[in-house]
Each structure stands twice: as structure tokens, then as C-alpha cells.
């Protein structure tokens, strides 16, 4: 088993004829993903990287059985693209697009809940299960199959830490890049139960950053409901107090959302906290040895 994507994943790429859609369709296929369809209105009947293009998601799903959408549509049109995927019965939408207006994402979030569609993102690198499938833009070269799960708010740190895990001789079960916007479709607390239930994940790496309360909420969940070992890293410890850094979601208010508050909460919940990203692989190996896994 893996989390959310596997060998049965059949991807439709919305915005496949754009530069990013085309490039990452090629990379998803190289990863081993079944990319079965693309959608660009007015381009139906053409092909991109050998993938048939349709005018609508409904047509693509009917013809190919697509069950995951990866959305590369520009921000002004991303909401409508997501609505189209949801109305076509797609159960998982990975929204790579950045700069989606706050209120558009709020509408997408609640429409997704109404239609039973899980959103990963927006402004995210997506999800990958090495040896099975990838939906998004995480570089192929950083992965190897293994039993370490990863959930992260930061795209770049995801790549660095996942690659470090690979170079240490370990591998990943599933990696999810949640995105760093103020409103995301899947939070740490949403993802944690999926890894708890996954028999192929022995340990979880949680990568957070300053701003918001997602990591404190995750710590509370880990303390009470998560039974597997956790190694965590929080970016932004050196950020000047009161200054927003990086992602739109990196907003600190009323003493919550600081690196110190997140680190304290995770340590109190029993997580092993890394001081630097390059410490994560060593801590992962140590925790795995403690529980008798290799």
C-alpha cells in the first residue's frame, strides 16, 4: 500500500499543452505514472508526449478512466478547472498552480468537501510514491522506494530532505508536498491518519515552517493518535520576530506560529526534532533502529 496514489493511479493533466504541463507530463511518465489524458479546451484530438488531449475533464474521464487530476492551469482559471474536475468525479486533485486568490481557494476547499474530492495544494509540488506513481512536479531523481513517509509544507526542503534520505541508503513510501498557502486542501492533520494506516510506512518525516498553527495542530494529533516515530524539521528559526517570510502562509500572530512554539509542541509530542535539514537522514536511521526496522 501507499498513500493516495499507487499503480492504479490514472492521471489527467489539466493545462497539458502549456509549457509546465508538457514538461511535467513527460517527467510523470518517466517516473512510471499512468498519464492517460490531458485537457485543454479547444485542443481536443491532439496529443502531447503521446498523451491524448480532450476538451473537457468529463470527456477525458469517460474515455480513459482517469482518477487523479494534476492542475497546471493559470491562477485566474484554476478555480473553474478544479470545479470541472470535481464535477467529472475525480476524487483527488493536485493543484500545482500558485498565486490562486485566497477566496478562490476557500471556495475550492468547501466545494471539494461537498463533492468528496481531496485537494493537495495549491502552490505545491504534489505527491509521489516511488516505484508506483507521481502526481506533480517533485524531481524524479530524489526518490527511491522505502518505508519512510514524508509530509512537508515547503517544496524546496521536500526535495532536499527526500534526497538526503535516499543518499543515506533509505527510501520513501509516499511523499506529500502540502503547499504553503494560508488555505490548503490537505493539512498535516489530514495527512497523518493516512500514514498511520499505511502498513508500508514505518516512520514519518514532518517538514514545517514558521507561520500558521498547522504544526502545533499536528503535534497535538501526534501526541494522542499517531503511533509511529516522527522526525521533524521546522524552517525559519532565524526569521526576525514579526516578519513574514517565504510562503503566504508564513504568518505569525499572538505568539503562535513561531519556530519556538512549533519546536516545543513537536518535542512535547515525542517527535525527534532536527536542527538542520541535513540532520534528518541520521535521525531517521536512529529512530528506525530504535524500533527494530531497517
Active site residues: 247
Q: Using the structure block, give the residue that is written with the C-alpha cell 489524458.
A: 37
User: How far, in Å, CA of 69 to CA of 246, rounded?
Assistant: 27
CA–CA distances in Å: residue 58 to residues 43, 63, 170:
15, 9, 40
The set of cell numbers assigned to 14 is: 489539466
Q: Could you give the CA distance from residue 261 to residue 249 in angstroms, rounded to a whole number? A: 16
CB atoms within 10 A of CB 277: 16
Backbone angles phi, psi at 174, to 5 degrees: -145, 145
Under 8 Å between Cβ of 178 and 187: yes
Cα radius of gyration (the chain): 19
Amino acid at each position: 500500500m501507499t498513500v493516495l496514489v499507487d499503480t492504479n493511479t490514472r492521471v489527467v493533466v489539466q493545462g497539458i499543452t502549456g509549457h509546465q504541463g508538457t514538461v511535467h507530463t513527460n517527467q510523470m511518465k518517466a517516473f512510471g505514472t499512468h498519464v492517460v489524458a490531458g485537457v485543454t479546451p479547444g485542443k481536443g484530438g491532439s496529443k502531447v508526449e503521446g498523451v491524448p488531449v480532450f476538451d473537457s475533464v468529463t470527456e477525458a474521464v469517460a474515455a480513459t478512466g482517469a482518477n487523479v487530476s494534476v492542475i497546471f492551469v493559470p491562477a485566474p482559471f484554476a478555480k473553474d478547472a478544479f470545479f470541472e474536475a470535481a464535477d467529472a468525479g475525480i476524487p483527488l486533485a493536485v493543484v500545482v498552480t500558485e498565486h490562486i486568490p485566497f477566496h478562490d481557494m476557500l471556495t475550492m476547499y468547501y466545494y471539494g468537501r461537498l463533492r468528496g474530492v481531496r485537494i493537495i495544494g495549491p502552490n505545491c509540488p504534489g505527491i509521489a510514491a516511488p516505484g508506483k506513481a507521481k502526481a506533480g512536479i517533485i524531481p524524479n531523481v530524489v526518490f527511491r522506494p522505502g518505508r519512510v513517509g514524508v509530509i512537508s509544507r515547503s517544496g524546496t526542503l521536500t526535495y532536499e530532505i527526500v534526497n538526503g534520505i535516499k543518499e543515506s541508503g533509505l527510501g520513501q513510501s509516499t511523499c506529500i508536498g502540502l503547499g504553503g498557502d494560508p488555505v490548503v486542501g490537505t493539512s498535516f492533520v489530514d495527512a497523518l491518519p493516512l500514514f498511520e494506516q499505511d502498513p508500508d510506512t514505518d516512520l514519518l518525516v514532518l517538514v514545517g515552517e514558521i507561520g500558521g498553527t498547522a504544526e502545533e495542530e499536528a503535534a497535538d494529533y501526534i501526541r494522542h493518535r499517531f503511533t509511529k516515530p516522527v522526525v521533524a524539521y521546522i524552517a525559519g528559526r532565524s526569521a526576525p520576530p514579526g516578519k513574514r517570510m517565504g510562503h503566504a502562509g508564513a504568518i505569525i500572530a499572538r505568539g503562535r506560529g513561531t519556530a519556538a512554539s512549533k519546536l516545543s509542541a513537536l518535542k512535547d509530542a515525542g517527535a525527534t526534532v532536527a536542527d538542520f535539514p541535513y540532520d534528518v537522514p541520521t535521525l531517521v536511521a536512529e529512530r528506525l533502529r530504535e524500533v527494530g526496522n531497517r
